[in-house]
Amino acid sequence: MSDLLIVLNAGSSSLKFALYDIESLDCVMHGAAEHSAAGAHIEFREPHREREVSSLGDGEFQLDALTALLDWLHERGMIERLVGAGHRVVHGGTLFTRPLRVDEASLARMDELVLLAPLHLPQNLAAIHQLRRLQPALAQVACFDTAFHATQADIVRTYGLPAELTRRGYIRYGFHGLSYEYVASRLEDILGPQSADGRVIIAHLGNGASLCGLKDRASVATTFGYSTLDGLIMGTRCGALDPGLVLQLIRDHGGDPDVVERMLYRDAGLAGVSGIGRDMRALLDSDDPRARFAVDLFVYRIVRECGSLAAALGGIDAVIFTGGIGARSAPIRERVAEGLGWLGAVLDPARNGRDEIRFESQASRIALAAIPTNEEVVVARHTRSLVA
């Protein structure tokens, strides 16, 4: 029987995981642990089997979840076959621009980057620390969401700040890199070998949303910047703001940046604009004018930022939609394509409505496509290459 790899994506109130056969990279089990006001539970899903759900204790959530996961593997005789664990790590700073096998020194350097992503990185790294305690002999690999954008030129990544701040790492990093890497690996299948190296915009549209412009399948520019607040309006995140507005919000809230941080990350975006919620399906189905306006704003920002990326790329040959909204919402794809008509986009409504991979019409000057992303298999690939 083949060895196994586990892929982990740790958040503050969730731990997503997927188990892969190291040879075929077939997913043999996936699931998630979640913590809410109602308590904590963990769920396992295997092909052709009923899902398994069990409660977790009231202790430290991530530790309880990892322990339950390892117990599940042990009960099924799989723990001996487990040879590596791959982690999605949201931020690598300027130090980590490719996946790496974690050791004590590299983990200590990752711990020093927590201030770059204080809402996400502590949870990512806590899972690595805890797994090292629970399974000290297990090889672990860190895959960074920022690494894909390390190919960008300095002029793209630099803000108009004093040079000393730039040297200290106050630059544009970009995120969603594992998603973009997956889509880039599929471009030859989708567009053909010649067009795959052309000027491509990937639209990762979901609760978190961003765009990335690629040439030769490498990142040229992206809408995310120093943090995951920049760029497009998202489910609960504001997108791009005038820095002067942020300063004024801090003054208006008694100089407390934590209050403003919560507002911009948790209370803004589609949910804040609509006053209804962040679910795109509900917003599209609603007759409330606030819902319609929120959707209009979402589409407007995508179209406007596509224009910016078109300038950075020197034109567009293809737009690829991915993410929960991008891969599944035909109405949003239709409206974005309509807004990109000036760039030569012409959508085939029937093909788009059937969720076909390619859905441009014969009259379109650019390719239009949609595919689900798979960040987990990207982590599994890198983990296999570093532990096999």
At 238 the pLDDT is 98
Which residue type does 347 have? L
Residue 244 has pLDDT above 90, yes or no: yes
Distances (CA, A) of 372 to 133, 180, 193, 329: 35, 11, 20, 11
Q: For the domain made up of 192-375, give the CATH fold.
A: Nucleotidyltransferase; domain 5 (3.30.420)
Mean pLDDT in the chain?
Answer: 97
| Phi, psi of 89, rounded to the nearest 5 degrees | -120, 120
Token pair 């740790």 in the structure block, residue? 10
pLDDT in tens, 73-130: 999 999 999 999 999 999 999 999 999 999 999 999 999 999 999 989 999 999 999 9
Please tell me whether residue 303 adopts helix, strand or coil conformation.
Answer: helix
Answer whether 89's CB lies under 8 Å from 145's CB: yes
pLDDT in tens, 201-234: 999 999 999 999 999 999 999 999 999 999 999 9
Cα three-residue angle 101-105-106, rounded to 5 degrees: 45
At 178 the pLDDT is 98
Q: What is the mean pLDDT of residues 288-296?
A: 98
At 58 the pLDDT is 83
At 182 the pLDDT is 98
CB-based burial label for 340 (10 Å; 0-12, 13-18, 19+): buried
Per annotation, catalytic residue among 3, 58, 111, 145: 145
Residue 386 has pLDDT above 90, yes or no: yes
pLDDT in tens, 325-353: 999 999 999 999 999 999 999 999 999 99
At 388 the pLDDT is 82
Distances (CA, A) of 346 to 336, 360, 364: 10, 6, 4
At 378 the pLDDT is 98
pLDDT in tens, 248-282: 999 999 999 999 999 999 999 999 999 999 999 99
Q: Is 145 a known active-site residue?
A: yes
**CATH architecture of the domain with range 4-144:** 2-Layer Sandwich (3.30)
Distance CA 83, CA 78 (A): 10
Q: Give the residue extent of every domain in the chain.
A: 4-144, 192-375
Rounded percentage of the chain residues whose pLDDT exceeds 90: 96
Which one-letter DSSP state was computed for residue 340?
A: T
User: In this structure, what token pair is assigned to residue 46?
Assistant: 């295997």
Distance CA 7, CA 104 (A): 20
Binned at pLDDT 50, 70 and 90, residue 37 comes out as: confident
Residue 57 has pLDDT above 90, yes or no: no
Which one-letter DSSP state was computed for residue 176?
A: -
Distance CA 175, CA 211 (A): 10
**Is 4-144's fold the same as 192-375's?**
yes
At 59 the pLDDT is 86
Rounded percentage of the chain residues whose pLDDT exceeds 70: 100
Half-sphere exposure of 136 (CA within 13 A, CB side): 2
At 1 the pLDDT is 82
Q: What is the mean pLDDT of residues 376-382?
A: 98
